[in-house]
Structure 1
């Protein structure tokens, strides 16, 4: 330790100096206050021993200047004073001196003070080192958060949250949110909405929900249904996250054409469906354990279905909203959420809920991440129908540029994702890529028609009754599981017709057939989907037996540049 000793009395400098050096410290001497300040600036000692009364500059002012030069570094200043200099000593202590000694100096006391200060300086040094490490860690953590935030924004595809039927809001408890709201449309225009809540909050919780994004978006883009996506998300969570980590998830699929909602809730607060007049139409509590708890074979994929027949608002939120506490410890609760949402359209309901939470908290921060999502469901809103394609001359079947045939038996029909499998092939044909969504809708509806009505012999798909829809889906699942024979043949072929191309889709089933006229295929209750297919296609024809349907979709030419 370097010790600066400033005193105008040579005898004091000699006696005190010898003690300092005998304790193993480096000694720096000054004869007055002004010299003490100059020596301090040059040598940067660790401790200052200084007389109060000195020529040119007294100890009080010298100590103040030394403290100013030291800045944030703590340098203890110990003053040496006579009893009659008490007032000067008080002034010096107010200016920043740390301790004092009364003349004549007691060398035992001085030795003890120097050792005490040495211990304090060592502790102070360690504190500074730790503070420096903490500051470095904080800077590094902030950089990592910036990277993580950028990564989350890229993976979450926030631009998809601009869906006109969706309104959402997230308020993280820290810089990153462990809540995730993700939305995307299938090629068939079904809206998939996921609200996920990772355990904890901040960066750790945010990393917990990230594994869900890739299967959610990738499989939704390919047209997989809710159950298939859940299986893959559960697999990802179990594969990526450490033991003990899990993610609560609410997954909603909305088919705006058929006015149907499908819901799977695992650990998220109750979902609410409010009517236009504020009445509660339906409530969906959690029915499953969060993803990552159960082994994959034990995951329940049972979903709930609902058919809406009026303008309504579907509301989802994380527990961070309901458990937000004000200054008195009261929670925001479900009643306040219902009051803000009931009887209001989603955009207004979301604004009212955010304001209600702000007023409730009165400037306090939420202790957990908050997320809120609402879907505007309006049966009067008819999905946009594509313009009917102009019908030109149909191509000769022998002039196909390419052909792709697929025959599926009972086992394949039970387990193969047929439409997605076909669309993977279609995506490899350059002229068809831009029409992926339209072709998906055509293939999906015609395939389901062949399977349900042709092979399984189901009655027309109900459109406006929840119980009937549930019974229909259960009957479909049962008949498919018991299917022993029969097959569906699918043939895709591409033709060049003039300056455009034509895709032929032919689907044949080996069922008993539907002995009805072709018009009845378009007047049945689920005819909206078939009407969309007809609007998309240049030609759509069912044969008299009801076992075969042939559709032509107009596209670009199939010549691929070399």
Structure 2
């Protein structure tokens, strides 16, 4: 059934070209008379004997002008109107109803059914001409509006695609959960009110034993704020990267001063931003911070005491005379640091009450002995429980850092990494990142971490691109475990994919088989490889020597 005529094809017709007309009348004589009249007026005409016949002809071609008798067998004119109005594929034609008596009740019933105009029988040529001219004007106007609406829909869809891409890029800047050092754990959370937001954050390591965190909150929402946030993110990364590479990291307040000079609000349509810089120095057990209009950080001692943090200076870009100051606090093993935008404290409940800073600080104090990941999960759960289905009033960004007690680091053999993932590119990437963070926690060398990441990535890539699964496996998954006994690291990957040779090699393993680069990477970078297939389960066992 082809009932979708493109509006542009109709709307661009010349004014002289008449629209075709569908006549619906059960009287052969009246049909013939109307056909002759309409042809004399320059219209092409198709005739139907009743409403059922008319719908069949509409399925072949969607006529936009219809003249229909009101009283007919099988399906009368009013029922035809209702069918046409209730089916979007017919494109809402202009319907002129023919009536024999012109009674008021008949006119009202016809209008209720969806008729646009009426003509009394017998219809005369000049009256037909002006009524059809009015109908053509209406149809062409509808088509022009539909063209505009279609253009608007396409533009909106394009904007939505671009916003989704921008949001994805923005999320790429959010630091992933990781160990910044063997005793410094980082977790992060980022949620936006719209497709993109004005918050951004990051972390760098100026030198061993130091971690510098920053958080930005551009005032306002939407595209302008997000674009300024992107520009700031790049500027800060370049500035800090330059100083790190030259070993000349300036005091934190000087960084804020330079940004205040470089990003005055009058250059960016009045937009300004708040910022917090925090430098953790594990060598001296200190936390240095500079606060520029941003919510002050939450800093907890190992005993759970919330340390007093003085409020900072003006936001950046708002006043050229603004000055900033670097302050310090003790940050001993067991301490906790949380950086947050004000959106966290402003989360609204359905009753209109804010979550508030007091509730957040209470949760942190009660859970100070938890690791960063667990603590952040509890914080996010609290936020969602408070928020329920209410939309966010502002972007929410959180950086949470927990410093482990030096005597509490467990032996490596007691801390295996166990993961379950779907065979997707996203989850494979997250797994590789988790492996890196875990191995850094174990103080594994960068060279060995690279070997392990590359070989595991090669196997996971095969699962993503080539593995096939049984039809009953609606959610196929892969299990990965990593453990170390100090001198050796073992990675075991298990799944239930079909036995494809380059995924589950024959025994003995044929390293000369045509299977791409995978075998060669495994052969050269893994010290010992075992493969098994038992009870429909495939397993790779990869072992690496760890030179201590």
Question: What range is the shorter-chain TM-score in?
Answer: 0.5 to 0.7
Q: Pick one of 300, 311, 319 that aligns with 1:274.
A: 300
Deviation at 1:237, TM superposition (A): 3.4
Distance 1:198 1:38, change over 3 A: same
1:172 aligns with 2:192: yes
> Equivalents in 2 of 1:255, 1:318: separation in Å?
23
Superimposed CA distance per residue, residues 299-347 of structure 1 (whole angstroms, 9 cap, x where no aligned partner): 5242112124573322221122222223332222222222322232344
Give the match for residue 315 of structure 1: 338
1:372 aligns with 2:398: yes
Deviation at 1:278, TM superposition (A): 4.2
Give the match for residue 425 of structure 2: none
Q: Pick one of 329, 334, 357 that aligns with 1:306.
A: 329
Q: Aligned Cα RMSD in Å?
A: 4.2
Deviation at 1:378, TM superposition (A): 5.4
Alignment of 1:7-406 (within 5 A): 7-9=25-27, 12-13=30-31, 26=43, 28-33=45-50, 35-37=53-55, 39-41=57-59, 44-54=62-72, 58-59=76-77, 62-63=80-81, 71=89, 73-82=91-100, 97-99=114-116, 101=118, 103-104=120-121, 117-118=135-136, 120-153=138-171, 156=173, 158-159=175-176, 163=180, 164-218=184-238, 219-220=240-241, 221-222=244-245, 223=247, 224-225=249-250, 226-234=252-260, 237-238=263-264, 242-290=268-316, 292-295=317-320, 298-309=321-332, 311-345=334-368, 346-377=372-403, 380=406
Asked if the contact 1:199/1:208 (under 8 Å) is kept, the reply is no
Alignment of 1:375-454 (within 5 A): 375-377=401-403, 380=406
> Equivalents in 2 of 1:201, 1:325: separation in Å?
17
Superimposed CA distance per residue, residues 122-179 of structure 1 (whole angstroms, 9 cap, x where no aligned partner): 453343223212221123223323442454355x263486534322211111222321
Deviation at 1:63, TM superposition (A): 4.9
Higher Cα Rg, which structure: 1
| Equivalent pairs, count | 380
Deviation at 1:271, TM superposition (A): 2.1
Unaligned runs of 5+ in 2: 1-18, 410-445, 448-548
SS in 2 for 1:326: coil
Deviation at 1:196, TM superposition (A): 0.7
> Equivalents in 2 of 1:32, 1:232: separation in Å?
82
> Equivalents in 2 of 1:122, 1:276: separation in Å?
75
Distance 1:339 1:61, change over 3 A: same
**TM-score, reference length from structure 2:** 0.58
SS in 1 for 2:309: strand
Superimposed CA distance per residue, residues 55-106 of structure 1 (whole angstroms, 9 cap, x where no aligned partner): 6764456556656886162224343345699999999888x64456475478
Asked if the contact 2:95/2:116 (under 8 Å) is kept, the reply is yes
Distance 1:327 1:106, change over 3 A: farther
Asked if the contact 2:174/2:190 (under 8 Å) is kept, the reply is no
> Equivalents in 1 of 2:264, 2:354: separation in Å?
33
SS in 2 for 1:283: coil
